[in-house]
Chains A and B, each alone.
Chain A
Amino acid sequence: MTMPDANHEAFVDRLLERTGLLPAATIPILQGIQHEYRHLPEPALRRVSEVTGIRLSDLIGVATFYHQFRLREVGLHTMRVCHGTACHVKGSENIHNHIHRQLQIYDGHDTCPDNEFTVERVACLGCCTLAPVVQVDHTTYGNLTADTIGVMVEDFRATRHETIADVDTVASRRNGHGAEIRVGLGSCCMAKGSDELFHLLRRIVKDFGIDAPVKRVGCVGMCHQTPIVEVRLPGGPVAFYAKVGPGEAEGIVRRHFRPMSVRRRFARWIDRTLEQLVTADGGLEKISRHTLDTSGKAVTAFMERQIRIATEGFGEMDPLDLDEYLAQHGFAALGQVLGRDPEETIAAITKSGLRGRGGAGFPTGVKWLRVREAQSHDSVKHVIVNGDEGDPGAFMDRMLMESFPYRVIEGMLISAYCVGAEEGYIYVRAEYPRAVSRLREVIRRMEERRFLGNGIMGGKFNFKLHIFEGAGAFVCGEETALIESIEGRRGIPRMKPPYPSDCGLWQRPTLINNVETFTMVPWIVRNGAAAFAAHGTEKSKGTKVFALAGKIDRAGLIEVPMGITVREIVEDIGGGVPNGKKFKAVQIGGPSGGCIPSALDHTPVDFEALASAGAIMGSGGLIVLDEDDCMVDMARYFMSFLRDESCGQCTFCRIGTTRMYEILDKICQGKGRRADLDELTQLAALTTQGSICGLGRTAPNPVITTLRYFRDEYKAHIAGRCPAGKCKPLIQYVVQDNCTGCTLCAQHCPVNAIPLTPYRRHRINTDLCTRCDVCRVDCPENAITVMSGGVECPGHSHTEPLPEPLAKHE
């Protein structure tokens, strides 16, 4: 037994003063310890148990359930490799292997020999448009390639002591003239450096004495163009600049504003000149490249099909500015609701046809009415916002919480008033620290101004709102698992019935809705049920927010009317598949969803239509796949995710997902047999009907849809060929005749599988080759091709453009 340590004791005692001693505080307590020590030291856990009376077995049970907690010590820094869907299709597995090789981590270890880095897998960081993504401590690096991993490590070492001031601590400012410089500051924009740009623009504006505030705004939606700067002048045209680098900030300001004071301008000029001499960073001439013509075809196409309900005011509002929110009809809906009979509001929500946006599509009004009518043993009821957006490849809820925190809470308050609840929680996923900090700040401001707490808006309605940070468990997106989690236990789903509407948090009637559902409520109240129902299809009304990512030209966050077809989203809004490749399928709905093939791209986005195509609406992740993507590999990817994320309670899900994964893995390795397809079908059917919760019941969907639409690919694998050229055991890299013998491939091969033969055609030693793809990407002649079963894989024959510059955010 480890000796009790006075430091641990003192820390734990202080922590417990903050969290309280109740078992429900288990997760916050463990989070506090993990935050301090970066793992959970045994003496600290023993102390917690001693003081709180929470048994060690319960602490360990919880600690080992959630990804966030570690019982072993970790390296000095944590490198989290994102394995979300978008990252997966863009090669995160290769990136992970390269990192291991670079840091000399071998044989199942996760920490490099000198203990500098611990490398972890993370299900999804929600920066899908920057895929592949790696997060080192708090710095996010995107668009990684094998070659830039070294750059990333060096950059991190060089800059880890620098810290950028938190953009959210900057006070909101407005001026009377209406001139503004707007910078989008969602998490993924920030991963591309928009916060650095924000600070830089503020400094420039201040130095120049320009009377125009630099304004923090939420997500702009055009993730493929970030960082985006928008310059607005009173009466003048609106100018957009896309993919703005720090070097271009000054040029943009100078193009639109005249510096006020000569003295300041001069001082500034001296500074900049000196700096430019050092960095040789051109200014003005670069700008035109980044000017985004908003009347241009691309932007219009991206924008024109979108309808803004949940994302009303996108790219315009400061997410933290309460006054601005009020000026944009904020809390007007709440005000209306507080003045009338709750049943009227519920009737309006029902009439609007709003259905839960978390995936299942249960009618929102019906759910509210159930909770309203349910009897509570102590007359207390709860409302919970489900912000545990766990689907890899989905980041809509994060964006809504980061960009429209007031609206999320307003929707929640409306529901709370309607169902008669006075206490609630926003459950936010562990991987979304920015959403948590913004929500905390917003709650503080709302409490100050009486939009939360007692006597809301001067009336009799009281509401106490808590934030609960998840600890890393996909299954907690399931409502009953989420409730277990808030109560301080392992996130094991409960048997339903009873449903949470009758017996939820602390056995009380509980309303749980998804973030997006709540976000739509204020608009519906203000504009009326009919206005909402005017959009969409017969059974699926209104709009849906999607995270569009993967092999698509214009990735981003979009809000579209229900009923829009998959093709319209991919081709019209997203601009189709880049690099001349063929559109193959969309993966919709995350791990519980399915792949809709390009042949069915006329499928409308509507709860019923998607379900009949074998997918589900899900929370709204939409990953576009092209001919380079192997569908068996996709099925295996999701099954591997679900196997890890299953809570492990019931047999069909715990063992069924694992066995399905093993069969898929076998097929990807070329060791599959025809009988395996039958066994897969059988296991899928069993897991669907025999699992307890939604996770298990929908887990086989990726297998079922790929088997349904891409059976030929399965058969090809069984015959020893991967048509997409993705499954490593089934492919070989071959140097073709047009090799000029430039030796680049030989130099870059990380395993020395290519002997250096200058001016002669190179050869790849297939036995040594790890199929890491470095040589093919690096070959200037495109002389390296991927062969499978003696056939060239067509997807790899096209020239790929140079990778985007490494994106970075602190």
Chain B
Amino acid sequence: MNNPITLTIDGQSVTVPSGSTVLDAARRLGLNIPTLCHLADVKENRPSCMACVVRIGNDTRLSPACSTKVTAGMVVASETPEVKAARKAAMELLFSDHLGDCISVCQRVCPARLQIPAAIRLVAAGRMREAIALVKENVVFPGVLGRICRAPCQAGCRRGKYDGAVAIQLIEREVANQDMSAAEPFLPACAPPTGKRIAIVGAGATGLSAAFFLMQDGHHCTVFDDHAEPGGQMRYGVPETELPRAVLDGEIEVIKRLGLELRLNTRLGRDVHLAELRRKFDAVIIAVGNMQKTDPAGLGVEATARTIRIDASTYQTSVHGVFAAGSAIRSGYDPARSVGDGRILAECVDGFLKGRTHHVAHKEFTSTIPKMPLEEYQELAKGSVATLSVRELITEAETAAGRCCHCDCRSAHNCRLRILAENYEVDPKAYMGEHRRKFEFIRQPAGVIFEPGKCITCGICVELAAQSRAPLGLTFIGRGFDLKIGVPLNGPLADGLQQVAEDCVRHCPTGALTFEDELRNVIKNSSRP
């Protein structure tokens, strides 16, 4: 059986043992054929997802690479535009019958890209120290935003349509408060110094936020501002009744402790000039905020009457190495957006300093649940952690956190369908049909959550359960479009899965099976090459 067989894939010759599949051969060549339903040694020759199709010879059909055995002299087309289009279509069809939000609405609309549901899960679990760390991965001013943000997240909260939005802003504020009143407020670790120096003009939300993240990357940051104190609009544009200065000072203090160099009472165009900064520093950030006091023409970068022109994908201005963000590039002031801009800017500048061309991912891939009827909201509400209310010493924030339905996907960070969808630039709405599945949320005793709407009926869990000889097991129920996976006689999933639950959750290619305590489904800010 082990006579080697030679075949050609996309013009490259490869030799594999007989009995191998086209997928094996392609992987040997380093070709990344996408697979969802395939699980080596567990589920073979029962292809279902069709994400791995290839064209064999002149066949008019496409064949699934995972289940097609190689033959001598076989000629396979794998990474051709036509084959890739079919793979993409297979995934788009799967998405048309895949009901779930990869990223929750609240997080999607947050200009500061706060990881809301994940942070709420930590709060709900009482893990406040981890919560602040997670929040500060994106938002350096949670105390400030917890008070003055316009909170689009709450307007988007799915629970809002049911019985009122979750008090996300309150939770954010509480996380910040607890951190600040701690003996040792959270301080992120910094990478070893890179020796690179960055000049940041403007000590407002954008500039300070950018400094915070760039210092963590190991760069030295100098912030220039014409005011006597840092904080920009947060200090000089917001009344103290709305934002106590102690909160602002506390959060700025954390930034300072990372090694920030502040050059106050210094005005760009008067005390320092852009050309000079560009000469002395490795990169320059213009985050001067509202341009009313600044003459854009005098700055030395391309600008319109009110805003500085940037390349939307790199945040770079017309001058090489000079970046701009915040209110300087848009009309109107939104503190959350300014904070978020600082974060994105940091990525861009870090990329620039490390010699990478960094492109901002404006939109992370997500599938979306279309309009939901009331009964589905009720189903959705099952996702909240009701048990919280009996805990002692419960804070207001924890109560609020308990109301979150966690409509985001707990597998968003490792869902294979989502990862492939990003690679193939899938449009999840391409084949959106009239009828969709019902939203169902099934909490299982062993801490497993089953969301049938996300299941792509790949059968991996059915197979794992069968091979473990679990007495009840899982099964395919029905056929055709109504095919679904379930436990025989409507038993609980835990009965069907028993000892293989963990395996099944691990191998589920989507978020149909997840663990309830999957707290940090953090999607790293993605960047595309």
Q: Give the interface of A toward B (CB within 8 A).
A: 42, 45, 55-61, 64-65, 473, 475, 490, 492, 494-495, 497, 643-652, 654-659, 662, 665-666, 679, 683, 686, 689-690, 692, 697
Inter-chain contact B435/A662, CB cutoff 8 Å: yes
- Do A57 and B465 contact each other (CB < 8 Å), given the known contacts A490-B476, A648-B457? yes
What are 5 of the A-B contact pairs (CB < 8 Å)?
A647-B479, A650-B49, A656-B93, A658-B97, A690-B89
Q: Is the CB of B90 within 8 A of A659?
A: no
B50, B51, B64, B68 — which one has the most chain A CB atoms within 10 A of its CB? B50
Is B387 interfacial (CB 8 A cutoff)?
Answer: no
Given contacts A56-B488, A57-B474, A59-B488, contact A655 B479 (CB under 8 A): no
A655-B496 CB under 8 A given contacts A686-B86, A690-B50 = no
Which B residues from 40 to 67 make CB contacts under 8 A with A? 45-51, 53, 60-62, 64, 67
16 further interface pairs, Cβ-Cβ under 8 Å (given A65-B476, A647-B479): A55-B473, A56-B473, A57-B465, A60-B477, A64-B476, A644-B480, A646-B480, A648-B482, A648-B483, A651-B48, A654-B480, A658-B433, A659-B93, A659-B96, A692-B50, A692-B64
Q: How far is the CB of A391 from chain B (nearest CB, A)?
A: 17
A58 vs B476: C-alpha distance when bound (angstroms) = 9
B431 adjacent to chain A (CB < 8 Å) = yes
* B466 in contact (CB, < 8 A): yes
- Is the C-beta of B163 less than 8 angstroms from some C-beta in chain A? no
Residue-by-residue, is B432-465 near A (CB-CB < 8 Å gives 1, otherwise 0)? 0111000000000000000000001100001001
Q: Is there contact, CB below 8 Å, between B46 and A492?
A: yes
Contacts of B435 in A (CB 8 A): 658, 662
Q: What is the chain B residue whose CB lies nearest that of A646?
A: B480
B496 closest partner in A (C-beta): A57
Query: Which partner residue on chain B sits nearest A655 by CB separation?
Result: B93
* In contact, B45 and A651 (Cβ under 8 angstroms): no
Mark out the residues of chain B between 252 and 309 whose CB falls within 8 Å of any chain A CB in the assembled complex. Answer: none
Which chain A residue has the least Cβ–Cβ distance from B483?
Answer: A648
> A495 and B62: CB pair below 8 A?
no
Q: How far is the CA of A748 from the CA of B335 in the complex (A)?
A: 70
Known: A492-B46, A494-B45, A690-B62. A659 touches B433 (CB 8 A): yes
Q: Select which of B431, B479, B487 is within 8 A of A659 by beta carbon.
A: B431
Report the minimal beta-carbon distance from A788 to chain B, rounded to whole angstroms: 23
Contact A645 B488, beta carbon cutoff 8 Å: no
Chain A CB within 8 A of B471 CB: yes
Cβ-defined contact, B472 with A658, below 8 A: no
Partner of A689, one of B61, B479, B481, B483: B61
B interface residue numbers (CB < 8 A to A): 45-51, 53, 60-62, 64, 67-69, 86, 89-90, 93-94, 96-97, 431, 433-435, 456-457, 462, 465-466, 471-483, 487-489, 496
Let me know if B473 and A655 touch, CB within 8 A: no
Query: Does the CB pair A55–B472 fall under 8 Å?
Result: yes
Question: For residue B477, which residues in chain A have a CB less than 8 angstroms away from its CB?
Answer: 60-61, 64
Q: Which of B67, B434, B465, B478 contacts A65 (CB 8 A)?
A: B478
User: A42 contacts which chain B residues (CB < 8 A)?
Assistant: 489
**Which residues of A have CB within 8 Å of B96?**
655, 659
Q: Given A56-B489, A662-B435, A690-B50, A490–B94 Cβ distance below 8 Å?
A: no
Complex-state Cα separation, A754 to B492, whole angstroms: 53
Is B481 within 8 A of A61, CB to CB? no
**Known contacts A55-B471, A56-B473, A60-B488, A655 near B478 by CB under 8 Å:** no
Chain B residue nearest to A490 in the complex (CB):
B476
CA distance A620 to B97 in the complex (A): 35
Residues of chain A lying within 8 A (CB to CB) of residue B50:
650-652, 690, 692
* Contact status A57-B472, CB under 8 Å: yes
A655 to B482, CA, bound (A): 10
> Complex: how many Å from CA A338 to CA B473?
50
Min Cβ gap A567→B in Å is 31
A65 to B477, CA, bound (A): 7
Which A residues touch B462, using CB under 8 A? 57
Contact of A666 among B64, B434, B456, B475 (CB under 8 A): B434
| Contact, CB under 8 Å: B67 / A495 | yes
Chain A minimum-CB-distance residue to B481: A658
Q: Are B475 and A649 in contact (CB under 8 A)?
A: no
| CB proximity of B417 to chain A, nearest CB, Å | 11
Could you tell me if B480 and A645 are in contact, using CB atoms closer than 8 angstroms?
A: yes
Q: How far is the CB of B436 from chain A (nearest CB, A)?
A: 11
A60-B475 contact in complex given A646-B481, A662-B434, C-beta closer than 8 Å: yes
On whether the beta carbons of A697 and B61 are closer than 8 Å, the reply is yes
Chain B residue with Cβ nearest A654: B481
A648–B45 CB distance below 8 A? no
- A665 touching B479, Cβ below 8 Å: no
Least distance between B455 CB and chain A CB atoms (Å): 12
Q: Which residues of B contact A656 (CB under 8 A)?
A: 93
A649 & B46 in contact (Cβ 8 Å cutoff): yes
Please indicate the chain B residues that have their CB under 8 angstroms from the CB of A475 in the complex. 479
Q: Which of A61, A495, A647, A659 contacts B45 (CB 8 A)?
A: A495
Residues of chain B contacted by A652 (CB below 8 angstroms): 50, 90, 93
Which residues of B sit under 8 angstroms from A56, Cβ to Cβ?
Answer: 472-473, 488-489
Q: Which residue of A lies closest to B36 (CB)?
A: A651
Which residues from chain B contact A643 at a C-beta distance below 8 Å? 480-481
Which B residues touch A697, using CB under 8 A?
61
Instruction: Specify which of A45, A64, A656, A697 lies most central, judged by the most chain B CB atoms within 10 Å of its CB.
Output: A64
In the complex the two chains form, what is the Cα distance from A662 to B434 in whole Å?
6
6 smallest CB-CB distances across A and B, nearest first, come from A648-B483, A57-B473, A57-B475, A60-B488, A61-B475, A655-B93
User: Which of A497, A658, A686 contacts B89, CB < 8 Å?
Assistant: A686
Contact of B48 among A45, A55, A650, A683 (CB under 8 A): A650
- Chain A residue contacts of B64, Cβ below 8 A: 495, 692
Instruction: Enumerate chain A residues within 8 angstroms of B49, measured Cβ to Cβ.
Output: 650-651
With A57-B496, A495-B67, A692-B47 as known contacts, state yes or no: A655 contacts B483, CB within 8 Å.
no
Closest to B474 in A: A57
CB distance from B52 to the nearest CB of A (A): 11
How far in angstroms is the closest Cβ of chain A from B510? 13
Contact B488 A648 (CB under 8 A): no
B486, closest chain A residue (CB): A60
A507 nearest CB across to chain B (Å): 13
Chain B min CB distance to A698 (Å): 12
Min C-beta distance of A498 to chain B, whole Å? 9
Bound-state Cα–Cα, A495 to B50, Å? 12
Is there an interface contact between A650 and B97, defined as CB atoms closer than 8 Å? no
| A649 near B48: Cβ-Cβ < 8 Å | yes
A473 to B462: give the CA distance in the assembly, Å: 22
Of chain A, the residue at the smallest CB distance from B82 is A689
Measured in the bound complex, the distance between the Cα atoms of B96 and A246 in whole Å is 58
The answer to whether A61 and B476 touch across the interface, beta carbons within 8 angstroms, is yes
Most buried by B among A64, A492, A651, A652: A651
Query: Cβ of A689: which chain B residues have Cβ within 8 Å of it?
Result: 60-62, 86
CB-based contact B47/A64 at 8 Å = no
Chain B residues, Cβ within 8 Å of A679: 431
Chain A contacts for B482, CB-based, 8 A: 648
For the complex, give the distance between the alpha carbons of A107 and B475 in Å: 29
| Docked complex Cα distance between A494 and B93 (Å) | 22
Tell me the smallest distance from the CB of B252 to a CB of chain A, in Å.
53
Contacts of A61 in B (CB 8 A): 475-477, 488
* Whole-angstrom CA separation of A569 from B471 in the bound complex: 58
A711 to chain B, nearest CB (A): 22
Distance between A4 CB and nearest chain B CB, rounded to angstroms: 14
Task: Report Cα–Cα, A494/B45, bound state, in Å.
Answer: 8
Q: Which residue of B lies closest to A475 (CB)?
A: B479
Inter-chain contacts of A648 with B (CB < 8 A): 457, 476, 478-483
Q: What is the bound-complex CA distance between A690 and B59, given in angstroms?
A: 11
Q: Are B90 and A690 in contact (CB under 8 A)?
A: yes
* Closest chain A CB from B490 CB (angstroms): 10
CA distance A60 to B45 in the complex (A): 22
**Bound Cα distance from A643 to B94, whole angstroms:** 15
> CA–CA, A651 to B466, complex, Å?
23
Most buried by A among B48, B465, B471: B48
A495 touching B93, Cβ below 8 Å: no
